[in-house]
C-alpha cells in the first residue's frame, strides 16, 4: 500500500513556484518468520479443532436448556400446525419452507409440536454444531448446504434428499429457503424441486415472537427471550404445477411462493406490533398464483 501527499498550488497565482512533493512512503507488510509460519500452519489448527469439538459437545445441550426455559415461560399461540399433521398423513409427506431468520427456533419449536422433521445442515464446524442440536430434537439431518463455499458444501445432497423422501413414509422436510448465506427473504429453489420430484405438497411455515434479540448476522437471526408470546403460522398446501417442469415455470412458481412467505412474515411482524424490516419486500408477479389449494 502506498501513501503520497503533495501540496496543492495556490489558486490564481500562476507565478508562484510549486513546492516539490515529499518523497513517497511505502508501507511494507510484516513478514512472518519461520517459527510464526510453523505455529500458524501446525499448532493453531489443533486449538481450533479442540474448540470446535468442545462447542459441538456443549452448545447443543445449552441450546436445549435455554429453549426449554423460553417455551416454559411463554404463551404459545396458533394451533394451525395441527393441520400440518393432516397434510402429511393425507399426502404421505410434505415440504415445509421458512425464512432463515427464525432458524433459532426450528429445532426445538417443531420438537415441541411433536414433529420429527428432516432438514439440511451445511458441512463444516458450525454445521456440525447445528446438526447435533437438530439430532437432539429428533431430526434426520442431511449434510450439504446451498452456500458456494467449498468447505461448507457437499455435492449430491439434493438428490439424496429426493431419494430418501421417495423411499420413506411420512417425511416432512423443514428448509430455510434463503439460507445459508442469503440474500434474506429471497427463496432458493431446492425445496420446490424436492416437492416436484417427489409429488409432495409444500407448506409455508413461520414461528415468531413478541420479544427477541437480533444477532449481527446476514439475516439478523432472532433469538426469542423468556416470558414471551410465541405464535405459529402455516399456509398451504401448495402443489407444484406442471408448468414448473420448465425453467420459466419454476421461476414463476418460486416467485409466488416467495411473495406469499414474505406476506406471512409481514403478518407476524404486524401481529406482534413490530416494524417490518426494510428488505422484507415483494417482487412483482403477473397472473394468478399457480398451485395453490384453497
Q: Is 97 helix (H, G, I), strand (E, B) or coil?
A: strand
**pLDDT at site 200:** 98
**pLDDT at site 117:** 85
Question: Along the 294 residues of the chain, how does pLDDT read in single tens digits?
Answer: 444 444 444 344 444 444 455 555 444 445 666 655 655 665 455 445 666 677 777 888 999 999 999 999 999 998 778 899 999 999 999 999 999 999 889 889 888 888 888 888 777 666 778 888 888 888 888 877 544 444 444 568 899 999 999 999 999 999 999 987 889 999 999 999 999 999 999 999 999 999 999 999 999 999 999 999 999 999 999 999 999 999 999 999 999 999 999 999 999 999 999 999 999 999 876 544 455 554
Reading the block at residue 43, the C-alpha cell is 499448532
Measured distance CA(47)–CA(205) in Å, rounded: 39
238: enclosing H helix or E strand? strand 229-238
**pLDDT at site 37:** 62
Q: Write down all domains in the chain, each with its CATH number in brackets.
A: 57-271 (3.40.1130.10)
Please, what's the b/e burial string for 210-232 (b: 16 or more CB within 10 A of its CB; e: otherwise)? bbbeeeeeebebbebeeebebbb
Q: Is 120 helix (H, G, I), strand (E, B) or coil?
A: strand
Residue indicated by cell numbers 445459508? 180
pTM (2 d.p.): 0.76
Phi, psi (degrees; rounded to nearest 5) at 143? -105, 125
8 Å CB contact between 171 and 150 = no
**What is the torsional sign of CA 275, 279, 284, 290?**
negative
8 Å CB contact between 239 and 249 = no
Reading the block at residue 215, the C-alpha cell is 444477532
8 Å CB contact between 84 and 95 = no
Q: Strands of the chain (E only): list them.
A: 2-3, 25-26, 75-77, 93-98, 118-122, 140-144, 171-176, 202-209, 212-214, 222-224, 229-238
- Identify the DSSP state of 29: P
Listed residue (202, 193, 225) closest to 291, CA to CA: 202
8 Å CB contact between 90 and 113 = no
On the question of a cis peptide bond just before residue 237, with omega within 30 degrees of 0, the verdict is: yes
Measured distance CA(236)–CA(226) in Å, rounded: 30
Amino acid at each position: 500500500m502506498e501513501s503520497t501527499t503533495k501540496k496543492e498550488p495556490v489558486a490564481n497565482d500562476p507565478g508562484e513556484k510549486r513546492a516539490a512533493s515529499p518523497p513517497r512512503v511505502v508501507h511494507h507488510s510484516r513478514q512472518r518468520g519461520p517459527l510464526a509460519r510453523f505455529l500458524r500452519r501446525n499448532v493453531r489448527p489443533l486449538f481450533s479443532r479442540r474448540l470446535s469439538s468442545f462447542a459441538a459437545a456443549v452448545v447443543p445441550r445449552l441450546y436445549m436448556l435455554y429453549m426449554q426455559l423460553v417455551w416454559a415461560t411463554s404463551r404459545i399461540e396458533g394451533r394451525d400446525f395441527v393441520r400440518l399433521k393432516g397434510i402429511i398423513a393425507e399426502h404421505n409427506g410434505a415440504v415445509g419452507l421458512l425464512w432463515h431468520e427464525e432458524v433459532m427456533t426450528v429445532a426445538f419449536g417443531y420438537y415441541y409440536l411433536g414433529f420429527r422433521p428432516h432438514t439440511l445442515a451445511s458441512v463444516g464446524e458450525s454445521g456440525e454444531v447445528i446438526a447435533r442440536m437438530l439430532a437432539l430434537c429428533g431430526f434426520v439431518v442431511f449434510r450439504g448446504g446451498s452456500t458456494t463455499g467449498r468447505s461448507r458444501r457437499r455435492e449430491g445432497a439434493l438428490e439424496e434428499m429426493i431419494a430418501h423422501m421417495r423411499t420413506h413414509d411420512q417425511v416432512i422436510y423443514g428448509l430455510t429457503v434463503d439460507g445459508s448465506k442469503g440474500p434474506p427473504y429471497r427463496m432458493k429453489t431446492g425445496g420446490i424441486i424436492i416437492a416436484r420430484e417427489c409429488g409432495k405438497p409444500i407448506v409455508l411455515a413461520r414461528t415468531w415472537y413478541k420479544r427477541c434479540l437480533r444477532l449481527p448476522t446476514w439475516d439478523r437471526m432472532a433469538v426469542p427471550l423468556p416470558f414471551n408470546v410465541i405464535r405459529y403460522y402455516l399456509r398451504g398446501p401448495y402443489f407444484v404445477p406442471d408448468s414448473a417442469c420448465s425453467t420459466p415455470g419454476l421461476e414463476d412458481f418460486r416467485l409466488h411462493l416467495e411473495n406469499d412467505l414474505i406476506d406471512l412474515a409481514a403478518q407476524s411482524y404486524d401481529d406482534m406490533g413490530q416494524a417490518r424490516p426494510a428488505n422484507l419486500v415483494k417482487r412483482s408477479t403477473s397472473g394468478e398464483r399457480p398451485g395453490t389449494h384453497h
